[in-house]
Amino acid sequence: MEELLAKWRNGLPQYQKDDVRSDTVEQGTVIWLPPLDRAGKRYLKRTAQPGISITHKGGGTVNTGLLNHPILVLSRPAATPQTIDFLSMTSFGNTPLQSKFASLNDARRGDYVPVDRAPPHPYTFPNHRRVYDPEYKNLYFQKRYPMQKRYSYVQISMVYTMHLDDAERFWGLTELAHAHYKLDDASLGTLSNLLRAKVPSYRAGGQHVVSEQERQACRDRDLRTQFAWYRGWEYVCLWVQLMMMAFPYAVGIVWASLSTTVRMWYACAEVRRTTWRD
């Protein structure tokens, strides 16, 4: 108990349950890019400056439509482990890719790769009249967790970069809130091949390796998070403990008061009885 209390004291201010666990972020991990209001607050908290900082690797403007969506971590460089390169994800409002871009000549079809339960990419059909590319295979997660009830697609035409602390955890489906969404090795290979052709100037480079010290720090942080709603818990415990310590004294004081009162009553009664006899 004392150890838990000590960790709780040392952990103030408390973390939020949506904070990203840095020991789980690596190539192929899915995390969440919060909406503008929360993203701005996170950036403000980290830098003491209002706004949000997401950079396009190609130098173009950043579409705010990628906010409030999951993102796929493409790289976590060893030189700057708090920075991630990522790809945006979308569901198109649960619309299949071939319906979103109905024209067979629409090159935008090649900008997206289906994830998990989404229908196969139209480029993988041999009878496609314009493009046939078997590399556009569906991406899957290591433990085959269903990501969400909607179709999902990864956009591979634009690479972004941002600070890890400005993102949030991806909780997925409610019943799988603690699932860890990471692409399997085959899907990572597929994504790498597609990116090499789609964004030839991008290279991921050396990746950050999570140390045991970082893992322990994240475990301690999660322990503090579990007790975050117990902000007044320590004081309640101390109050109960004091009450329990004071209870015998309180009982003794009450008993002594009652005894004294009874004795005084009997003494008064005896005086009255003696006076009446006289």
Neighbours of 121 (CB within 10 A): 23
What are the tens digits of pLDDT across the range 234-251? 556 666 667 677 677 777
Residue range 201-220: average pLDDT?
A: 86
Of 1-5, 8-12, 135-139, 159-163, where does mean pLDDT reach its minimum? 8-12
Instruction: List CB contacts of 134: < 8 A, sequence separation 6 or more.
Output: 124
Three-state DSSP state, 67: coil
What is the overall mean pLDDT for the chain? 79
What is the reported pLDDT for 115? 92
Q: Is the pLDDT of residue 89 over 80?
A: yes
Q: Which helix (H) or strand (E) holds 153?
A: strand 152-155
Which CATH number does the domain 27-209 belong to among 2.30.30.110, 2.60.120.280, 1.10.10.10, 3.40.50.12160?
2.30.30.110
What is the reported pLDDT for 14? 43
pTM of the model: 0.72
What is the reported pLDDT for 27? 92
Prior bond of 13 cis (ω within 30°): yes
C-alpha span between 167 and 67 (Å, rounded): 10
Which among 216, 218, 229, 212 has a CA at the least distance from the CA of 8?
Answer: 229
What is the reported pLDDT for 137? 92
Per domain, the residue ranges of the chain are 27-209, 236-278
Instruction: List CB contacts of 228: < 8 A, sequence separation 6 or more.
Output: 14, 15, 16, 17
What are the tens digits of pLDDT across the range 183-198? 999 999 999 999 998 9
